[in-house]
Structure 1
């Protein structure tokens, strides 16, 4: 079989694209239809409500608490071990963070990546942030940095065809793995 690149007609297989068109409507639906992602009557973001819920960390899936930032497992993960690092107080943009909070945010991201590597031994780690609804932020009022383990060949047709993610472990197991591996 001749590839498009070999025939001079397109990108090499390494540059192939897997489109997930369902994601856009999902994000729009979540942002527009679910009150839990919008600030509550007291102006607290979803993440501030989780942080200050008074529930134990193993119920909220908070894996780390710093002085100005924390890390929590994504309740709607792309894959097992998907966590988010974020400031304690809602901020929509990086420019809204005090310098010490911005510095601690990056410390949390580095620790999160180290914990993911130790807990899952992935082939790679995605680290990313979507600033604003137009950039794909499902919760645009409270920035958060996604950190998630990835493996070569971990894409799956079921995400596109069935609008479903296949997760190989419950959040409670991911929480234990990540908290046990979190650098001290």
Structure 2
């Protein structure tokens, strides 16, 4: 007998107005007072880090250049270095805050490669633990994330403080 899986929070996404611009350009342009709402946990000169609103695991962040580019070669030397510095910082913070047994760090370049926002490249940093791939994705095409985004924002923002 099939059991229903309730996910009422998804209705907010379904009914919400979809952005017309690039959220990866809009988020860092907003005042820091909106960082929690926009899930930004750190701002750097050339890049920033934010939580993934639809994470694979708790603590899943994205490291994003401020430059609106889809091609790695379009970043200047300082932008590339700033992006990699932010990536290294994000990995260090995720490791310190979540103590994962491993990490997936990667980039999906282009829509067919899986990029949800193909016009603005970004790194994904996903903490992993042994056995974290449970039966839900296999049986129901559903992921179970054990921590609310607000709590993840609080923990990761504190982790970035002073780094």
Matches within 5 A, 1:21-40: 35-36=18-19, 40=20
1:45 shift after superposition: 1.3
User: Do structure 1's residue 104 and structure 2's residue 82 form an aligned pair?
Assistant: yes
SS of the residue corresponding to residue 116 of structure 1 reads: helix
- Quote the Cα distance in structure 2 between the aligned partners of 1:76 and 1:150: 16
Q: Which runs of 5+ in 2 are unaligned?
A: 1-16
Q: Deviations over 1:58-94 (max 9, x none)?
A: 1111011111111100001001100000111211011
One of 39, 50, 53 as aligned partner of 2:27: 50
Counterpart of 1:177 (choices 131, 155, 162) is 155
Over 3 Å off, 4+ runs = none
Indicate the SS of the match to 2:59: coil
The unaligned stretches of length 5 or more in structure 1 are 1-33
Provide TM-score, normalisation by structure 2: 0.83
Map of 1:113 onto structure 2: 91
Look at both structures and tell me which one has the larger radius of gyration over its CA atoms.
1
Superposition RMSD on alpha carbons, in Å? 1.5
Structure 2 residue aligned with 1:63: 41
Total equivalences in the alignment: 145
Q: CA deviation at 1:151?
A: 0.4
Counterpart CA distance in 1 for 2:139 and 2:74 is 39
Shift in Å at residue 35 of structure 1? Answer: 4.9
Distance 1:97 1:161 in 2: 41
Find the counterpart in structure 2 of residue 78 from structure 1: 56
Give 1:102-181 correspondences, 5 Å limit: 102-181=80-159
Q: TM-score, normalised by structure 1?
A: 0.74
